[in-house]
Amino acid sequence: MLTSVKTQVITTFPAGVRLRLGDAQVIHRAARLRSVGKGLYDVLDPVQFKAGEVIGIDLKLLPKELRDGLEPLKEPT
């Protein structure tokens, strides 16, 4: 299950991670991503996000060192 999170520090996600991204976030990273539909992308090569960006990710699949820099956001009800 994907959770919306805000990056607290510059964060790099490795290949193999699936992310939910907005169109503006994809523009400069498109060569490193593969669309799997509905705003979901598989990371093909490492991608970096600056602090303060909001993305969707499955936190359970991430190593602890990557989770530490992410702040889970409340999902709308």
User: pLDDT per position in the chain (77 positions), as tens?
Assistant: 899 999 999 999 999 999 999 999 999 999 999 999 999 999 999 999 999 999 999 999 888 888 889 999 986 54
37, part of any domain: yes
Per the CB < 8 A criterion, the answer to whether 53 and 25 are in contact is: yes
77, part of any domain: no
65, part of any domain: yes
Rounded CA-CA distance 31/71 in Å is 27
Query: Residue 59 is encoded by which pair of tokens?
Result: 């936190």
Residue 18, domain extent: 3-72
Predicted model pTM: 0.89
Domain count, the chain: 1
17, part of any domain: yes
Q: Other C-beta atoms within 10 Å of 56: how many?
A: 19
50, part of any domain: yes
